[in-house]
Amino acid sequence: MKKIDLIIPCHNEEDNIERFFAAASETENSIEDCCFRYIFVDDGSTDGTLDKIKALEGAGYISFSRNFGKEAAMYAGLKASAKGDADYAVVIDADLQHPPELIKEMLKKLEETGCDSVAARRVSRKGEPVIRSIFARLFYKIMNRFSEIHLADGVVDFRIMSHRMVKTIADMPERCRFSKGLFQWVGFDTQWIEFENVKRVSGESRWTVWGLTKYAIDGFVDFADSPLKAAGVAGSVIAVGSLLYLIAEIIKTILMGKDTPGYASTICLILFFGGVIIAMLGIIGEYIGRMYIETKARPVYVEKESNIENHK
Ligand code: UDP
Ligand code: MG
């Protein structure tokens, strides 16, 4: 009997829980010799999500003391799965945008190819705001160009993983988590399955423009140190350039005497360098901020209650 853990991050999904459970159970029955263990992670929902989960027969859950974000919810689920004895774990959204029936196909591909992970990739971004698609595409371009990992376009947090891969990820205690990057960073063979984007069955996407921007910056800074290097290079180039300019000015003054006062050029240079320095401090600040958060070593989430034993 194959055991598969389903990790489902939920934040205010009261209308979707039952529908999701029904669809997932149907998938479970359609796969031969296999049983699912449900790990619903209630990420500080303020509606009836937790009650809906508790009412499901045989569903495991972890409930947070407040909203810690989807990354924290996935981490909690992965840790619980790593402590258990499941053969595989699946991370999947509760809003049915990740069709549960795809798990069957994913499992088949995983077993056929003997790889460690099969991940879903959206082939279209239909039903998504155009602006969001444009920025998402731009983000993947920049990420792949400048960071140490390669993200496939359209990759979503929907994948099946072997137990050893789950363990590896659960053992990474970093607080600034960007799972799409972590899944890639740990290595192991990954195969892809394509699917059409589907609209949310109920409720709104939890992402705000600011939330997505922060998520993109997090993802980039977590996996790339090229901005630091670029800042260093740019700083050195500007420093050498201004030194040459200074020498030229001194020689000019010695040879030709005092020039007319160059107020405009002076103020331009001061403003220019002021801007460059502040921009670079900003970049360095992003990294120092992250070091600050990591060194404080606060937990990624705080659990309020759970019915899953021995998962911490
Ligand atoms: N989610 C969560 N915590 C949050 C926001 C979202 O656990 O703070 C869950 C949400 O319930 C859903 C999944 O993460 O199951 C994806 O969220 P959403 O549908 O809002 O994102 P999108 O599909 O628009 O990327
Ligand atoms: Mg969604």
Residue whose CA is at the smallest distance from ligand 1 atom 8: 69
pLDDT at 73: 96
Inter-residue contact 218 to 178 (CB < 8 Å): yes
- Pick from 10, 70, 197 the residue to mutate for probing ligand 1's pocket: most ligand atoms within 8 Å of its CB: 70
25 C-beta closer than 6 A to ligand 1: no
Spatial separation of the C-alpha atoms in residues 300 and 73, rounded to whole Å: 9
pLDDT tens track, the chain, 312 positions: 899 999 999 999 999 999 999 999 999 999 888 899 999 999 999 999 999 999 998 899 999 999 999 999 999 999 999 998 899 999 999 988 899 999 999 999 999 998 999 999 888 777 677 888 888 888 888 888 888 788 887 788 899 999 999 999 999 988 888 888 889 889 898 999 988 877 776 777 777 888 888 888 888 887 777 787 787 778 778 877 877 887 887 788 788 876 667 766 787 678 778 777 877 887 888 888 888 888 888 899 999 999 987 777
Residue 48 CB burial class (10 angstroms; 0-12, 13-18, ≥19)? middle
What angle do the packed helices 209-223 and 130-146 form, to 10 degrees?
10
Q: Which amino acid is at 302?
A: V
44 C-beta closer than 6 A to ligand 1: no
Q: Report the atom number in ligand 1 closest to the C-alpha of 97.
A: 23
pLDDT at 241: 81
Spatial separation of the C-alpha atoms in residues 40 and 17, rounded to whole Å: 9
C-alpha distances in angstroms, 15 versus 6, 73, 101?
A: 19, 19, 19
Spatial separation of the C-alpha atoms in residues 11 and 32, rounded to whole Å: 31
Question: pLDDT tens digits for 35-48?
Answer: 999 999 999 999 99
Within 10 angstroms of residue 72's Cβ, the number of other Cβ atoms is: 21
- Pick from 16, 65, 93 the residue to mutate for probing ligand 1's pocket: most ligand atoms within 8 Å of its CB: 93
Spatial separation of the C-alpha atoms in residues 75 and 176, rounded to whole Å: 11
For residue 34, the surrounding DSSP H or E stretch is strand 34-42
pLDDT at 88: 95
205 three-state secondary structure: coil
Q: How many helices (H) and strands (E) does the chain have?
A: 10, 8
pLDDT at 259: 64
Inter-residue contact 35 to 107 (CB < 8 Å): no
Inter-residue contact 42 to 64 (CB < 8 Å): yes
pTM of the model: 0.79
User: Which protein residues have a CB closer than 5 Å to ligand 2 (ion)?
Assistant: 95, 97
Spatial separation of the C-alpha atoms in residues 63 and 41, rounded to whole Å: 6
pLDDT at 127: 67
93 C-beta closer than 6 A to ligand 1: yes
Inter-residue contact 283 to 228 (CB < 8 Å): yes
Q: Report the atom number in ligand 1 closest to the C-alpha of 41.
A: 7
265-272 contacts, C-beta under 8 A, 24 or more apart: 269/242
